[in-house]
Structure 1
Amino acid sequence: MDQNRWETVKQVTAAITGEPERIAIRGARKVDARGVQEHFWVTAADGVITATGTDEEAFEHACRSIAVDPADGTAIVDAGGRVLTPGYVDIHAHGSWERSFDDGPEGIDVARAGHAVHGTTRQVLSLITNPIDVMCENLRNVRAAMERRPDVLGSHLEGPFLALARKGAHDPECLRDPVPELVERLLDAAGGTLRQITIAPELPHGIGAIRRFAEAGVVPAVGHCDADYATARRGFDAGAGIMTHMFNAMNGLHHREPGPIPAAVEDPRVTIEIINDGFHVQDPMVRLGMRFAPHRTAFVTDAMAATDCPDGAYKLGALDVNVVDGHARLVSNGAIAGSTLLLEVAVRRAVTELGVSPVDAVEAATLTPARTFGFDRPNAVTGAPLGLVSPGYAADLLLTDPADWLVERVWCAGRALK
């Protein structure tokens, strides 16, 4: 990694662990799950949005209420018609900038910076399948990261309770049946910070493990599985609330063997992940998937260490990965090994290439993933809710170029990250 990126990592880390700023932004085009508003303004203090609106006189009053002089041009951001959205929330990503979230405190800082500067203000840190002792240590590292930085929402275990036939890029030597002893070890290591865990429900102890994780406040996810329709439904009824990257690493749709996808689509309790990079899921299926479950589709990246990096050789856990044309595959067997996607790109693709409305695309990267874990309302993890540009919500804000949907300014909990 070059020196400029190291400096960015230090700047982002210092900002996110520092104090929130007072924020006043005017002249924006607001886009969130509630719709579009022109000539929009927002103010924030102490990491929380204090007021929003379109009336200039009200803006001046809102500025004074947070001790910002409305006549001081240096204290106010003129959006100049740029798109103002909530910060993006990625609930399934493994790394970026040559580091994985499995790589300890430094790896978390580096990989978070790589996503943060592209607008992902909050992230659930996904951990790859490893030996149980290693996974427990990685869970403890995420737990420690949450104590010092508000942008880390907790952890996601993608493994080790996966179907061998649908393992994807996970190490087959480390796959396990989720017997109670292993479930308890992982819960103990996470100490209440495990947000989701991907489980193949057809495993011998799969349904029981889903039920136990759900009882512990985790949102289990059905994925990397060979489950039939009935078994997937049992998994959702036992407490699973997510489908891990729909269409990938699972048996697909078939008219006489419907499999797990219809079970997720039919269940209003389930959030459905989609990797919108045009590679994991081609565009017609992305459009179809979003029509399957309006307001329940969450864009995720499944991003690995090569994200926002040149092609070349990388690692996914202990496995060697080669990235060509931005696509990551295992050296050993050519299996897809995560992605190099950013949520910024997923939203841009949806709006500019797939014909998805900006409101729906932004919702899939903000309110829907936040709602999956109850972060769309006041909670013990984020305090203020996430996912909307509205008074009382966290001051997670992005200013984006309306022409190309590239993120230009980023605030997380009132901290300026870019």
Structure 2
Amino acid sequence: MSSLVLHNARLVTPAGVIGQAWLRISGSQIDAVEAGSRPVADGPSRDLGGAFLAPGFIDMHVHGGGGASVVEGEPEQVRRSVAYHRAHGTTGLLLSLVTAPLARMEAAVRRIAILVEQKEPAVLGCHLEGPFLSRRRCGAQDPRFMLPPDPEALGRLFEMGRGCIRMVTVAPEAPGALDLVRRTVAEGAVAAVGHTDASSDQVTAAIEAGARVGTHLFNGMRPFSHRDPGPVGALLSDERVVCELINDGVHVAPEVVQIVFNAAPGRVALITDAIAAAGMPDGDYELGSLAVRVSEGRPALKEGGSLAGSTLTMDRAVRRTVQDARQSLPTAVAAASKVPAQVLGLAKWLGSVEVGKQADLAVLGADLELQAVVARGVWQEAAGRGRPADLLAE
């Protein structure tokens, strides 16, 4: 079994940054983590030069990247997208499917189930972002294919998924939606609230039924008002709920990102909501059945102009959270690793740098740019290397 020692690192933990630490990787697992300088030992090692060593990022909401879309579950497209996001620090992700004809969604889920069963690197499962959503808040989802709550349709999707479906987003206001929430939880998946025009009371009812995630908070939902808090108020105020945030400077203003982190400590999950255009030039793309135009890195539907996902990467989301939203580095990293691992039920082996966990790591240097990624124990260099910086690391 191969081994590798990483030393002279500043280890990022949820409790703070350890000023000097080392760890040893054996195969695909971490088998030692200690504060202090590297012990005398034989074997390969890397001096990280004081760089920050963080857990690999977990993106629980991604539609594509690097010119590839994952919404059909096509293996080569998935692998291309995964490779792109891995190069930006993401070592685990959910393939998020958009609303489409039910037969197409079933076919995509079948393909993803095979990838999961074959242990495709970084693929944690899939997220059904549709078809049980609100047409009034469809965003960049095709309203033609949205369905009212249909337990039979959901049951077929779970049957095709053979355990690969980890999250389902539902608009809770439609009659029968709470039954879908309960069915999702009974299947061992996470029920999420999103693309919804629901009232605060209707969202609270979904939370009582078992919903535990707010899908891209603020986006695709009734706006927050001090007299009509709607989904945002219900999701933010309930300590059982994790709130997704697309921190790209477009979907949510930096001041609002700061408010959310302060209002929901330990309950924010950074996501990218990235589409195939991530990492690609401006131009024309597709999200499911809808035409998208990307201008200055901002994707929007050609018809109607609604934001259509993002071109964000998780390393940029973490960096923006520290530099623009004024959160500590441990807080930002936890929102990109520990929090999603916990809500998805994967914290036993992902989400933090601890003995016995999978050796998924991100090495961050000056201005928190990514220097390298370790995925299942395999080291991969990244561009933009530099000296580490003390950015709100307390």
SS at match of 2:139: coil
2:351 equivalent to 1:387: yes
Partner residue of 1:32?
A: 13
Q: Which amino acid aligns with 1:362?
A: V
C-alpha distance in 2 between matches for 1:219 and 1:55: 39
C-alpha distance in 1 between matches for 2:13 and 2:35: 15
Q: Which amino acid aligns with 2:364?
A: T
Alignment of 1:100-139 (within 5 A): 100-103=69-72, 104-139=74-109
Q: Which amino acid aligns with 1:43?
A: R
Give the C-alpha shift of residue 166 in structure 1.
0.2
Partner residue of 2:388?
A: none
User: Which string of whole-angstrom CA distances, capped at 9 and with x for unpartnered residues, describes residues 104-159 of structure 1?
Assistant: 01110011011001100000111111111110111111111112324110000111
Q: 1:141 aligns with which of 97, 111, 118?
A: 111
Partner residue of 2:376?
A: 413
Partner residue of 2:34?
A: 53
Give the C-alpha shift of residue 354 in structure 1.
2.4
2:46 equivalent to 1:77: yes
Partner residue of 1:314?
A: 285
Give the C-alpha shift of residue 56 in structure 1.
3.6
Which is richer in helix?
1
Q: Which amino acid aligns with 1:391?
A: V
Assess if the C-alpha contact under 8 Å between 1:85 and 1:362 holds in 2.
yes
C-alpha distance in 1 between matches for 2:36 and 2:318: 29
2:252 equivalent to 1:252: no
Partner residue of 2:384?
A: none
SS at match of 1:80: coil
Partner residue of 1:328?
A: 299
C-alpha distance in 2 between matches for 1:211 and 1:183: 11
Q: Which amino acid aligns with 2:161?
A: A
Give the C-alpha shift of residue 412 in structure 1.
1.5
C-alpha distance in 1 between matches for 2:115 and 2:182: 27
C-alpha distance in 2 between matches for 1:262 and 1:204: 22
Alignment of 1:298-309 (within 5 A): 298-309=269-280
C-alpha distance in 2 between matches for 1:82 and 1:56: 14
Give the C-alpha shift of residue 21 in structure 1.
4.2
Q: 2:185 aligns with which of 214, 218, 226?
A: 214
Partner residue of 2:262?
A: 291
C-alpha distance in 2 between matches for 1:300 and 1:260: 19
Q: Which amino acid aligns with 1:274?
A: L
Give the C-alpha shift of residue 194 in structure 1.
0.4
Partner residue of 2:385?
A: none
C-alpha distance in 2 between matches for 1:317 and 1:340: 16
Assess if the C-alpha contact under 8 Å between 1:31 and 1:84 holds in 2.
yes
Assess if the C-alpha contact under 8 Å between 2:10 and 2:18 holds in 1.
yes
Q: 2:149 aligns with which of 178, 189, 192?
A: 178
C-alpha distance in 2 between matches for 1:282 and 1:56: 41
Assess if the C-alpha contact under 8 Å between 1:116 and 1:417 holds in 2.
no
Partner residue of 2:162?
A: 191
User: Which string of whole-angstrom CA distances, capped at 9 and with x for unpartnered residues, describes residues 68-110 of structure 1?
Assistant: x15xxxx111100111000000001100011111240111001
C-alpha distance in 1 between matches for 2:263 and 2:208: 20
Give the C-alpha shift of residue 407 in structure 1.
1.2
Alignment of 1:349-368 (within 5 A): 349-368=320-339
C-alpha distance in 2 between matches for 1:346 and 1:307: 13
Q: Which amino acid aligns with 1:24?
A: V
Identity score, percent: 39
C-alpha distance in 2 between matches for 1:177 and 1:169: 18
Q: Which amino acid aligns with 1:127?
A: L
2:316 equivalent to 1:345: yes
C-alpha distance in 2 between matches for 1:39 and 1:257: 49
Assess if the C-alpha contact under 8 Å between 2:106 and 2:160 holds in 1.
yes
C-alpha distance in 2 between matches for 1:155 and 1:94: 10
- Unaligned runs of 5+ residues in structure 1 are 1-19, 64-68, 378-384
Partner residue of 2:391?
A: none
SS at match of 1:148: coil
C-alpha distance in 1 between matches for 2:379 and 2:127: 26
Q: Which amino acid aligns with 2:356?
A: G
SS at match of 1:371: helix
TM-score (norm 2): 0.94
Give the C-alpha shift of residue 263 in structure 1.
1.5
Q: Which amino acid aligns with 1:117?
A: A
C-alpha distance in 1 between matches for 2:8 and 2:226: 51
- Cα–Cα, structure 1 residues 194 and 417, in superposed 2: closer, same or farther, change >3 Å? farther
Assess if the C-alpha contact under 8 Å between 2:292 and 2:301 holds in 1.
yes
Partner residue of 2:341?
A: 370
Partner residue of 1:382?
A: none
Partner residue of 2:60?
A: 91
RMSD: 1.3
C-alpha distance in 2 between matches for 1:142 and 1:320: 24
C-alpha distance in 2 between matches for 1:208 and 1:192: 19
C-alpha distance in 1 between matches for 2:4 and 2:269: 28
User: Which string of whole-angstrom CA distances, capped at 9 and with x for unpartnered residues, describes residues 304-323 of structure 1?
Assistant: 01001111111101111000
- Runs of 4+ in structure 1 displaced over 6 angstroms? none
- Unaligned runs of 5+ residues in structure 2 are 382-394
Q: Which shifted more, 276-285 or 47-56?
A: 47-56
Q: Which amino acid aligns with 2:352?
A: L
